[in-house]
Amino acid sequence: MKDIFQKVAELQRDGKTFALVTIISALDSTPRTLGSRMIVYPDSSIEGTIGGGALEKRVVSDAVRLLEEGKSKRFAYDLGTEGKDIPLGMICGGKVEVLIESFCGNMKIFIFGAGHVGKKLAELCSAIQLPYWIIDNRKEFAREGLFPQSYPSMNIVTS
């Protein structure tokens, strides 16, 4: 698979719904290491791996549920049979924490303020090809060409 971050940017640009799973803690014996990632789609298909077996099966199930709810969440799994975390009964017996981040298609970025911070945010959006809109109450900042890859800028008048 191509770089997972390139794949995430591509999926976001195309308005696809998916979850990004990242191992944020791995203690003792675990099938994959800290920072391992996989993408989970609403139909339970995946790209990448966080280790397979009972862990991956449970994480895919949790990710699909979170996609349906439009939420992101951290989960702790006990790969053995005991402990306060979700027990999975795997032979390796370590502990894994994952962050499941939901990306629910057609994300739109609205940047409020076209000053130096807004400009940097716009550059980041452009770099990963996310559509964005600039919103500012100053006419000189709400004009075409100032942020070349933005959608039409908006001039919001406040009283």
End-to-end CA distance of the chain: 51
Residue 140: DSSP 8-state: G
pLDDT digits (tens, 9 = 90+) for 71-107: 999 998 887 766 666 666 666 677 889 999 999 876 6
Establish how many alpha carbons lie within 13 A of residue 90's alpha carbon, considering only the half-sphere containing its beta carbon: 23
Please state, in angstroms and rounded to a whole number, the distance separating the CA atoms of residues 15 and 9.
10
Q: What is the pTM of this model?
A: 0.67
Given the structure tokens 């390139």, which residue do they identify?
6
pLDDT (tens digit, 9 = 90+) per residue, 21-78? 999 988 887 778 889 999 999 999 999 999 878 889 999 999 999 999 989 999 988 8
pLDDT value, residue 159: 37
Q: Give me the pLDDT at residue 152, please.
A: 54
Q: Give tens-digit pLDDT for 105-130.
A: 766 788 888 888 988 998 888 887 77
Closest CA to 57 of 74, 69, 40, 33: 40
pLDDT in tens, 146-159: 776 655 555 454 43
